[in-house]
Structures are given as C-alpha cells and as structure tokens.
Structure 1
Amino acid sequence: MSDVPGSFTWRVLHERHPSLIARVREATPYDARRNRALDALLEEIEGIMAPPEDSAHDRDLWESWDRGHIGRRWDEVPFLWAESYFYRRLLSAVGYFEPGPWRGVDPFEPFKQAELEGEAVDEELRELDALADAPAGERDQALILRALWGNRADLVFRISAGPDLADREAGLVADDSALLWSLAGTGRVCLVADNAGSELLPDLVLIDHLLHARGTGQVILHVKPLPYYVSDATVTDVLACLRRMAAAGGEAGRVAGRLRAAIGSDRLVLRAHAFSCAPLPYREMPVGMRDDFASASLTIMKGDLNYRRLVGDRAWPHTTPFAETTAYFPGPVAALRTLKSEVAVGLTGGTVEALERTGRPWLTTGTHALIQARA
C-alpha cells in the first residue's frame, strides 16, 4: 500500500509521479489541451482516482482489471495497481490514444533516445569485441551479469535517484545463476523485458548468446504494447536497439545481424500482450500468456516491476522462499533484478541481518541485485 506518509511507496505517488509529469512537459512541447490534461492529472493524483474516459478504447479492459479501486483515493489502493494506472492515465493525458497529431507519440521517447545515444552505450558495445573470444563459461557469467546490472538503466529510477548512486557499493544478495543456466536448454526460452535502451541492449546480447552459442531453439521476447513506466521496452525500442548495434559495427553489429535473421526465421519471436501493462500480479495472467510460459524450459523475468508482479507486491518477510511465492507459475522461472522497491524474497537470514547491520538502505537504491531461479 502507499497510504503511509513518508514511506517509499507514498513518495513514489506524491513525489516521483509529479516530478515525472514535469519532466514529460519539459521534454515535449504539448499543446494547450494536452497541458491542461497534465495539470488535471497532477491535481487528481492527490485525491480520488477517476475512471477511464467513456470513449477510451480500453475502458472495458481496465474495468475488468479493477478490483474496486477506481473511485478511491490514489494512495488507498494497492501500490502496484495505482502505479500502473498512473502511466495509463498519463498516456491518455498526452493524447496517445486519441485521433489527431499526438496519437502514438511516445512521451518518454526523448529520455529513451538520449540514453541510447550516450557515450556509455558506445563503450558497452565496444566491450563486446573482447568478450566474443572469451571461454564459454566466462561469457555465460559476463552476459548474465551485464543483463542483471543493466537494470540500473531504469530511467524513472534515475529521475529520483541521488547523483552518487553509481559510486555506492553494489553486490548480489542471491545468486542462482548456475540453476538458471541449467534450465536454459535447447528448447524454448521466454524473456520478459523490462527497460529499453542500455538495459535492453544486454538483454538482446543475452538472447543472441542463447540462440547462437547455447543452442536454444527459440526465444520469445515479451515487451510492452505501449510506452509504460518511462523506459519499459516496446517493439519500437527493440528495433531502435538493433539499429544502434548495427551502426556500432564490430561484434555488436554481428549480434544485430544475427538477431534480425532470428526474427526473420521465427527463432526470435516478439510478443506485446495487453496483460503486460496490467496492474495485476502474474498469478492472474490470462490463458494465452500462461500457455507461452508453460511451453518454455525457462522464463526469465527482468527488472523490478516484473519481480513484484511475479512474487506478488506484498510485504513478504525477506526470507520467504522464492519457490513458495512462484509455485503458481506454469513452468521454470528466473528473476534478474536490481532492488528498487521494498519487495524481496528468497534471501537467507544471514544475508538480511548483514544488510540491516550496515545501517544503509539496500532495498530501494538499486545498489544490490539478485539472480533467483526455481525449476
């Protein structure tokens, strides 16, 4: 929940979201109508949650996802629900769904593009040249860690994170990477993406490694059907990353070429399911998505939001077994995630005690990460 003033979840709704509205307004010169709609949303999130517009194309869908929350205060409904609905309402405010000049214009594209064109991405892609000739086991570990720590690239997190984030000590609080690799066989692997840009790039390199080096028969990449949570990946973002890698040349260019060929032969399949934007845990996933995951030898969930949806966005004791919270999932599953919210399970009592003894925050700063898996 997010009804305790000063709590992490309360600050997201009352500080991070208003800040994001201001950033969106600064990044794109919206017309007067769109600016009025953003003003109205800014005022609304301090009060009562309004329903989708009567003419909204997805009104029925959101009403089916409602659990009696619409009509209540924003900070009195489950945090996962309120946070997801905020991004749906933000898209509506900027005219993303309406006929007219703003239809389909991603309000987060300026942030994504600037991040993808940064010098840090150039360096990351150049490093692939040296990694290409590394021993197989070394490449496995390097690529899984790159995909894991790429989750720091979350743009909405950067907006509110302190400038010293990159300098803080970071470390794994759980590491099931050996089990993850043992489950990623020669059949089908599903990867549920999180952020675009410099997080999606190592995800795509990991997918290429599975297909090209590890002999995985097919990878299904789940992305968002709409711009969401600022930097969540869409099909458009996948294509932008492929172009970025191709332009870099070297091993990055070769990876891009192999991935384009894999898409053309259906060895890499893109999915953009409506439920990917649902304000609900994966426990409530529809049949089509469940069938996808059930058919895979392994499903890899990337990022904080997918983790919260996977284990349930609840105040679990941190020692609650990961296998227990994911027992409903229809197949083997793994999570790659840097910690940016208060939800964490599957940790040992000793690990939790050691982290708490430091006196420093570790759940919400992105300075710690985990690799968890269950067969």
Structure 2
Amino acid sequence: MSKASVKSPPSIPSKSVSIVSQGKGGEDDDEFKTNPDFIYGGPFITVEKPSPLLGTSTPINMQLQGTFKKSFAYYSLVERLPIILTKVIDYCSRESGSIRSSCGASDGDLRSFINYVSKLKNDLITNKKYELLQVDTPEAKKWNEWIEGSPNQYYFTNIWVFTECYVYRRLREGCELYKTLATFDPFQEQKSEAFNSTLEPMCVVADKLMTMLPESDKDKRKADFVTLMKICLWANKCDLSLSVGDQVKLQDNEHTTGIMDPFQMITDLKDKLLVDDTGKAADQIITKAENMAKTIEGASVTAVTPVASKAATAEGGEEPEPPKIPCPAKMTIPQAVMFDIVCDNAGYELFADLCLAHFLVSQKIVQKVRFHVKKIPWFVSDVTPKDFQYVIDQCRSARYDKKVPQAPKPDAAEGEAPPEPLVVSADNLHRLGDQWTQYVADGIFIVMSDDFWTSPHVYKDMKKYDYNLYRKLQYAVAIMFKGDLNYRKLLGERNCSSVLGFEAALQGFIPAPILAVRTVKAELICGLPKGKADQISKIDPDWMRKGDYGVIHFCPKAEPLKVADRPCLDYGDKCRGTICPTHNDL
C-alpha cells in the first residue's frame, strides 16, 4: 500500500487563500487548513498550513501591519478599506447619470471602473500579491519600483501604510485608465456634504477670528496662537477615512447655548489632550520667526547691486529689476519667513488650518504660509488642490443664519427683558473667503502638491526618496503636520513605547521645527507620561482607534540649511550658477 503524500504548504499565502472568512472578518484560521487527496484505504488527515496571521496585537518596536489580528491595522484592512471601496462602487452605480454628465464618461468607462474597483477590493480581502500599475507615467514607474523592491508584496503582510497608500493609488489608477474619468473624484460628494454639515462651527470660528486678527500685545498674541492650534487639533476629528465615509458630528452635544461652539470644545476636551506643547511651540516659533526676519532683512540689504540702486533712483530711469532668487541648492537663508502646514482633511479641518495661517500672517509672525496637499484624491477626505479652492469658494458664498433664543438668567428680576438671542451668520465667513482668495493671488498662501505626500514612504526616508522636497521644508520657520496618517509617517509606522520622547520618535527627521497636531486614530503614540497609556486603556481598551483623544507635540530642533551636496531638481546637472528664475514656492 502506498503512503499518502501531502504537499508542502507555501511560506506565504497563495492566491487561493482567503484572509477573510465569510461573515467572520477573519476571526478564525479555518482557511489555512486543507485535506490531502483521498488515497484508498487511508484516512482524511487535516493538515495545518502556516498562517501569516498572528492572534496578537502589534509588538513594541514592530511596524504596523495586518499580520497582527488584534491590531487596528488588521481591522482596517478587513473592515474599513473594503467598506470604503464598496461605497465607491455603490456611488458610481447610484449616481452614474450625474457622473457621466459631469465628466463626459461613457457607460462603458464607468462599468470598467466599477469592475476595476471590485477586483481591487477582492484582491485586498483575499490577500493577493500587489499588481504593478499599468499607467505609463514617471510617478507610476517609481511606484512599480517600490513594489518590486518591497521585501513583502502582499496586502496583509506588508507594512500597513504601504498597503493603504497602494490601495488609494490603485483607486486613482482606475480613473487614469479612462480619459473621461481623469478628473473624477469618487469622494467629492462626501467631502461636499461634510463641508455643509459644519457651516455653523465655521461661522462661530470666523466671528471669533476677526477679533484675533488686529495686531495685539505679546500675551494676547500667544494666547490666540495657542487657541487656534487647539481649534486645528479638534477639527481633525472630522476624518471621513476613519468613519468610512459617514459624516462626522463635531460635538456629541451642543453647548447649553444651543450653538455648536468649537471654542467650548477646547474646554470640554481639556482632559482628552494628552500632550500639550502649544505654549512652548508658540513661544519658540514666534522667536525663531523674528530672528529669521532680521536675518533675511540683513541679507537683502547687502544683496542690493549698485546697478539696481541707480536704476531705482535715476530720474526718468527704468524700473528696478525684480529681486533675483538664489539657486535653491545654494540658498542658506530663506527668501521669506514661512510657516508650512502639511494638511490632512478638507472641509472644516482645512478651514481651521486657514484660520491659523491667516492669524500668523495678520499678526506679522510670518510672511507666507505654504499648504502641502495631496495631488490626487486620498484617504477619502484628504485635501487636494481642488478641495483647497473649493473650501475658499464655499466660504465666500456660504449662506447661514441662525438665531437661538436664550433662557432668562436665574436671578433675573420680574419683568426684566429676556437676553438677546444668539445670532450666527456667514457674514465674517464671506470676509475670510475674500481675503484668502487675495492671499492666494498674492502668493501669501501657497499650495504645493508634491508626489511624495502620496507615496508609501515614512518621513525619516524623505531625503532618500525626495531630497528636493526635504530641502524646501528646511526653509520653513516651523512645519505643522496634521492628522493621523502624517503622525504615523512621522513615527515611521512603528509601534514605539508610549513614553518615548517625540524627538527620538522622529528618528532624525528634523528639516525644521515640527509641530504634530493629531487626534489619536491608530495604535501608535509617543511622549506620554509613564503609566498614562495603561491608565486610559483600563477605562477604554479601544481609545487609540476613536479619535477622542489628542496630542500636540513640538520638536524645536532643525537641521541647519547648508549648501546642498547636489544640484536642485528643478534644473538638474545643467544648473551651475547662483541665480534662478523666481520660484513660486519660495
């Protein structure tokens, strides 16, 4: 009688292996068991195949990945991402008529796109190997190099940030493959609804901001700076990726006045702010900005050429030459005092970022603010250049008017007139929108959308993959990184100890002083007091997944801006001079 033979299982999941069990979200590993072919006279023997999944949370100092079944990374790949893709499919089916009319897409193109997204979703939930991008662009070729160079090319067993970014990049490719869908944003409807649902808090913030803009004394300026940073923090709760596209309510309950008040949120959520470096950040950013302004002013005085001076003063002479911009590769002094914001979500969160930027410019703390946004639709609600303009335009044209009667005071005298009703309107929102439009036109607000922000790389590797962007960040007096994805990339997608200091967690990424403003929506965090994480976990084991808590970290250190060891990317090896044409991002 011949012996039954059993095939050796693969060391990585084969294409036939399903990660997600029917209706169980991968709760068990039955799919990693198999029976050998029946041999006459022999028994059916269940043979265990090695599962790539482990029934643990992410170990300390390991990178986040779907391998760990008790991690948020695993839950996101099993539940959140498939639901987001399903909603894209449903939206395209439900609104096919309006999509066709707005984009000029044919029925065939839309059906092909839906099929593309359906296959992408199936590949994800069954842990297929990554496919290479099909579009022929330099950026897509880089992606293919990164995929092929990755030591693990499967959805669940590669690091979480790579897989998430890959899925959104593939979703974009589904549009790029059809010319009629080249401008299609499958998340635009959700972002528009989110903006409209937060008009009231935007009006409240706009009214308050108008009192912060006139130049003020040192103490008030610092206090307002701190307040606006906290407005930016809690605005980060409005994340459509975390809610898988469902609209997010900014406050669970309106304040007793009947108004949704973001400033009241700062007080109400005071105990939920686990790290608060706002005071330190305000002091050091203002001081560095003042010193940088003096340095720039001194450098510009010595840089005036005699020819330019004579041209400016000669009677009937020509207009003075426009200022020349030093070669970015050789520049050691920035051209202006700039504050950078690496944006997260559109809608109310972007509005809050714009308010902070307006304050910094109005108080003459900085001269320009650069907004770093995503070039393509990303993580449902991330800001694109189109979203940036949309928010400003909507602020200019918004309609909102609400009157809320106020209850009489408990100690009011008999016959005393009731308090005047609270009035919330969009009047100041219109004024802000008009001013922001002018700031964009004047180059005071600068929108940048480098490819690196939609790459799968963590920020400690930015020099390796985009040295030019790293150098541009060095011109900033400080950089504010918004939201959870940026936080994960700042920390290298590594589950570090919760008590590790913020500077150490950055792993050498210090192009400029860094401000990290984030509500906690993933299982990694740093800078907490000893025992704090355990204390909160006893109250709510899922606290790191909900966005209920927040941190505002500040690292004041920065790598000195020196002459680069390579030519700037704008001109490559041809650049050998000291003067470049004017750059619109400097």
Same fold flag (TM > 0.5) = yes
Letter of the aligned partner of 2:498 in structure 1?
H
Secondary structure of the equivalent of 1:190? strand
Task: Report the RMSD for the aligned CA atoms in angstroms.
Answer: 2.3
Q: Which whole-Å CA distance do the structure 1 matches of 2:387 and 2:248 have between them?
A: 26
Matched position secondary structure for 2:376:
coil
Q: Match for residue 182 of structure 1?
A: 283
| Matched ranges for 1:67-82 at <5 A | 68-69=149-150, 72-82=153-163
Aligned partner (choices 379, 382, 391) of residue 229 of structure 1: 379
Structure 1 segment 180-219 matched on structure 2, within 5 A: 180-185=281-286, 186=289, 187-219=337-369
Deviation at 1:309, TM superposition (A): 0.8
Are the structure 2 counterparts of residues 22 and 274 from structure 1 closer, same or farther at C-alpha, using a change threshold of 3 Å?
A: same
What CA distance in whole angstroms lies between the structure 1 residues aligned with 2:477 and 2:151? Answer: 38
How far residue 215 of structure 1 moved from its aligned partner, in angstroms, is 2.8
* Partner-residue secondary structure (3-state), 1:2: coil
> In the alignment, what sits opposite 1:40?
119
Where do residues 33-182 of structure 1 align in structure 2 (5 Å cutoff)?
Answer: 33-45=112-124, 46-57=126-137, 58-66=139-147, 68-69=149-150, 72-93=153-174, 95=175, 97-118=176-197, 120-133=198-211, 135-159=220-244, 167=252, 170=269, 171-182=272-283
The residue number in structure 2 matching 1:254 is 431
TM-score scaled by structure 2?
Answer: 0.60
The structure number with the bigger radius of gyration is: 2
Whether the 8 Å contact between 2:241 and 2:379 is mirrored in structure 1 is: yes
Letter matched to residue 201 of structure 1: F
Q: Distance in 1 between matches of 2:283 and 2:478?
A: 10
Count matched residues: 372
State whether structure 2 residue 85 is matched by structure 1 residue 7: no
Shift of 1:180: 1.7
Residue 311 of structure 1 is aligned with which of 488, 491, 501? 491
More displaced stretch, 220-229 vs 127-136: 127-136
The CA deviation at 1:92 is: 2.0
1:239 corresponds to 2:389: yes
Q: Distance in 1 between matches of 2:285 and 2:427?
A: 27
Deviation of 1:179 after TM superposition, in Å, equals: 1.9
Uncovered stretches (5+) of structure 1, i.e. residues with no partner: none
Alpha-carbon offset, residue 184 of structure 1:
2.9
Q: 1:4 to 1:354 in 2, by over 3 A?
A: closer
The equivalent residue for 2:460 is 283
More helix, by proportion: 1
Unmatched runs of 5 consecutive residues or more in structure 2: 1-64, 97-109, 213-219, 254-267, 290-336, 399-425, 557-586
Task: Give the letter aligned to residue 184 of structure 1.
Answer: I
Farther-moved stretch of structure 1 (8-17 vs 335-344): 8-17
CA distance in 2, matches of 1:17, 1:133: 42
- TM-superposed deviation, 1:205: 0.9
TM-score, normalised with respect to structure 1: 0.92
Instruction: Answer yes or no: is the 8 Å Cα contact 1:191–1:300 preserved in 2.
Output: yes
Identity of aligned residues (%): 23
Q: 61-70 vs 261-270, which deviates more?
A: 61-70
SS in 1 for 2:149: coil
Does the aligned pair in 2 maintain the 1:282–1:309 contact within 8 Å? yes
Letter in 1 for 2:484: D
Q: Assess if the C-alpha contact under 8 Å between 2:132 and 2:147 holds in 1.
A: no
| SS of residue in 1 equivalent to 2:543 | coil
Could you tell me whether the CA contact under 8 Å between 1:126 and 1:250 is conserved in 2? no
Q: Is the 8 A contact 2:238 2:250 kept in 1?
A: no
SS at match of 2:339: strand
